[in-house]
Structure 1
Amino acid sequence: MDNTNKTIVHIDEYHFLWFVINRPDKRNAIDYDVMEQLNRAIQIAKTNDSIRGFVITGTGDKAFCSGGDLTVFHRLKTKEEAYSMLSKMGNILYELLTLPIPTFALLNGTAVGGGCEIASACDIRVALHNNVKIGFVQGNLGITTGWGGATMLMEKLQPADALTLLYSGKIYNVEMAKHLHFIQSMQPLSTRQQQSEYIDNQLVQSANVLRSYKSALIKKWVFSNVQERMAEEINTCAMLWARDEHHEAVQSFLNK
């Protein structure tokens, strides 16, 4: 469908739209091109009534997504520069959150930082092997979640579980991620066909029924001002981004 060197997008025989981040050499990090391609894929899913689900995963078995590409975004220094990037991705993730069909994050490897925020926007998170790890590590870089991840996490998890993930900045294995209800299950599915069949088995066939159920949840999020709360979270991150603490932490990380 829309295959570039950075992403692979296609609709399978089960009417699932797949968005595959194809940057294994960058641990499937997000840059502006990937952002734009994700937004385009979401709009296709939103307007094609035959699509029954939206699936995000990554190439390889090492990384689902390592968040924002620091080699690109470390150039952003001021609050205004940071806010421009953060709000762009935050708006895309709100679109993903409120996509009126079931959404799945298939964690093919480690998800950290913004990778966990992307997964948080999805309805269901499934680990594809026991070596998957997850971590909201943003706090170790002197910032908070910058794409609305904390707000979305609070909607998906019990507050104590969400705060454990956010406060600690730690990396968690599959068992602990399941214990904290971030990951719903671990399914050793090595091929796209197996993964599609697994998702298909979780869903009724009617796209109209699936959209109706999802719309009930979207109404709740609209009523509780999720979009506005995400915007406030993004603004806070932009302010922290501009501080020396963040820039020094990122530089130290890049120097490793």
Structure 2
Amino acid sequence: MSYQNILEEIEDHILTITINRPKKLNALNRETIQELHEAFKAAKTNDEVKVVIITGSGEKAFVAGADISEFADYSPKEGKRLAADGQEKLFNYVANFPKPVIAAVNGFALGGGLELAMAAHFRIASDNAKMGLPEVSLGVIPGYGGTQRLPQLVGKGRAMEMIMTAGMIDANQALQYNLVNHVVELDDLHDFVAKIAGKIMKNSTVAVSEAIRAINANYEDGVNGFEVEINAFGRSFGTDDFKEGTSAFLNKRKADFPGK
């Protein structure tokens, strides 16, 4: 499929989605959010794709925020719809995606950009990365899950400080806060993320997908995450991947998972 604002590349079962609006520092507008939704939707049913990496074009920005010019004159009703649609189409969609999603954060990840990175299953940052949720400096609050996911990752106190001050933290602070898993030099970012993706792909894709769902269940109100885990664990025994994994272990060989 042809896109105006994003680029796609599949190599060794890794789909890299690059937000490509360099003149706008890859800011998210409605069209880009829709294109990202379409790309993830297609990847969901593409058996060639086992891991998704999301990043921004250039060296300056992952995503520098939302495109403010699009909603500066919105009414309260329009603002609410903007947040609801964005969360459904992209941010919650990514968070609950059945295949691993890794954010390769290169440069600025601000506002909606940090919210997109936080929706990914985990984050790896370049050493020039800067992150923050500056929405209150515009008279609004984070609307794409920022007030929910940031406290889950860094704790309530740090999230309160980051959001209320509208300040930025650098890559090393983000690592200290557990907002990112690793910090690497910018030139090494893609290879480092691809290496981790390669480690993931050695394992059962079925089991990894179930693990994503079980982990996410812990953060859903009214959902018993332990119950989700127990049920998923039981289902694993009926998969071809379980048969292959246990057979390989018992016979002291590397598993060749069929992904079923």
Give the TM-score band, short-chain normalised.
0.7 to 0.9
Q: CA deviation at 1:189?
A: 5.1
Write out per-residue CA displacement over residues 184-236 of structure 1, whole angstroms, 9 at most, x where no aligned residue.
211225378625532334424232222121121133234457xxxxxxxxxxx
Q: Which residue of 1 aligns with 2:179?
A: 182
Write out per-residue CA displacement over residues 86-120 of structure 1, whole angstroms, 9 at most, x where no aligned residue.
21111121111111222111111111111111111
Distance in 2 between the 1:61 and 1:141 partners? Answer: 26
- Identify which of 195, 212, 215 aligns with 2:213: 215
- How many residues of Structure 1 are paired with residues of Structure 2 in the alignment? 221
Distance in 1 between the 2:11 and 2:102 partners? Answer: 14
Q: Which residue of 2 aligns with 1:168?
A: 165
**Cα pair 1:50 1:207 within 8 Å, conserved:** no
Distance in 2 between the 1:113 and 1:196 partners? Answer: 23
Q: Which residue of 1 aligns with 2:11?
A: 12
**Cα pair 2:128 2:186 within 8 Å, conserved:** no
Q: CA deviation at 1:183?
A: 1.8
TM-align CA RMSD:
2.1
Q: CA deviation at 1:146?
A: 0.9
**Cα pair 1:135 1:170 within 8 Å, conserved:** yes
Which letter maps to 1:12?
A: E
TM-score (norm 1): 0.78
SS at match of 1:190: helix
Q: CA deviation at 1:49?
A: 4.5
Write out per-residue CA displacement over residues 151-196 of structure 1, whole angstroms, 9 at most, x where no aligned residue.
1223333223322322221011111111211122112253786255
Which letter maps to 2:164?
A: Y
Q: Which residue of 1 aligns with 2:256?
A: none
**Cα pair 2:104 2:189 within 8 Å, conserved:** no
- Identify which of 62, 65, 71 aligns with 1:64: 62
For 1:200-239, list aligned pairs within 5 A. Answer: 200-205=197-202, 206-224=204-222
Higher relative contact order (CA 8 A, sep 6+): 1
TM-score (norm 2): 0.77
Which letter maps to 2:3?
A: T
Q: CA 1:108/1:154 → structure 2, altered by over 3 Å: closer, same or farther?
A: same
Between the aligned residues of both structures, percent identity stands at 26
Distance in 2 between the 1:63 and 1:207 partners? Answer: 31
Q: Which residue of 2 aligns with 1:29?
A: 27
The unaligned stretches of length 5 or more in structure 1 are: 226-256
- Identify which of 17, 41, 48 aligns with 2:46: 48
Distance in 2 between the 1:17 and 1:58 partners? Answer: 14
The unaligned stretches of length 5 or more in structure 2 are: 224-260
Q: Which residue of 2 aligns with 1:96?
A: 94
Q: Which residue of 2 aligns with 1:122?
A: 120
Which letter maps to 2:184?
A: Q
- Identify which of 81, 84, 98 aligns with 1:84: 81
Distance in 1 between the 2:199 and 2:188 partners? Answer: 17
- Identify which of 105, 108, 111 aligns with 2:109: 111
SS at match of 1:147: coil
Q: CA 1:196/1:177 → structure 2, altered by over 3 Å: closer, same or farther?
A: closer
**Cα pair 2:150 2:159 within 8 Å, conserved:** yes
SS at match of 1:203: helix
Q: CA deviation at 1:144?
A: 0.9
